[in-house]
Amino acid sequence: MYADWRSASGPSGGPGDGCHRECQWRLRRNCALSPRQSAGAIGALIGLVAATAVFFGIFLQLWLVLPFAALCAAAVASSFVCYARHATDGETVTLDSLTLVIEADDGAMHRVYRMRPGWLRVIVDSGHGTDVSVYLCESNQRVEIGREISAASRLEFATQLRRELARGLLS
């Protein structure tokens, strides 16, 4: 899980005196390697496959190794492209007193949803088995949150968001 939560508060006091509170959650996949580190590892693997193929092709006269090595390198490169495209998938949820903003990244798509906290419902749907889905609903908008993190982290996020929404409504 990579669910980073931070809260920033302005001057203390009651409503109407410049008090500002903002909470932000980053719900992202916990990737072991960044895309740059992954590119280096994949490049080293492809280089090793190419060196082995050249050795077998030139010194041992086994020329059929070269096309199979090229096919292997192409498969590894395409898997890297798929990994790198989705390595930064996730959502950033920002809540302040006026709006809740959801920035969702899925591959090359970037979507932004805006909702009013006073009208927002947090729905936890525990579907089949241990799978849990969290939805944020406001009038006709329904957005699924936290697909990239574990079920326990989704439940923790829903609890924290409900707590912050209740705190904002009581202020």
Lowest-pLDDT range, 6-20, 75-89, 148-162? 6-20
Per residue in 73-100, pLDDT (tens digit) is 999 999 888 887 877 788 999 998 889 9
All structural domains of the chain: 2-10+20-29+91-170 (2.30.29), 35-86 (no CATH)
Is 148 a residue whose pLDDT tops 60? yes
The dihedral sign for the CA sequence 65, 68, 72, 78: positive
At CA 113, angle to CA 110 and CA 118, rounded to 5? 160
Mean pLDDT of 11-26: 60
Give the predicted TM-score (pTM) of the model.
0.68
The token pair that represents 61 in the structure block: 């006269």
Q: Which residue has the tokens 């090595």?
A: 69
Interhelix angle for 65-86 vs 35-54, to 10°?
180
Supply the Cα-derived Rg of the chain in whole angstroms: 24
Contact 100, 169 (CB under 8 A): no
Mean pLDDT, the chain, whole residue set:
83
Q: Read out DSSP for 30-57?
A: --SS-HHHHHHHHHHHHHHHHHHHHIII
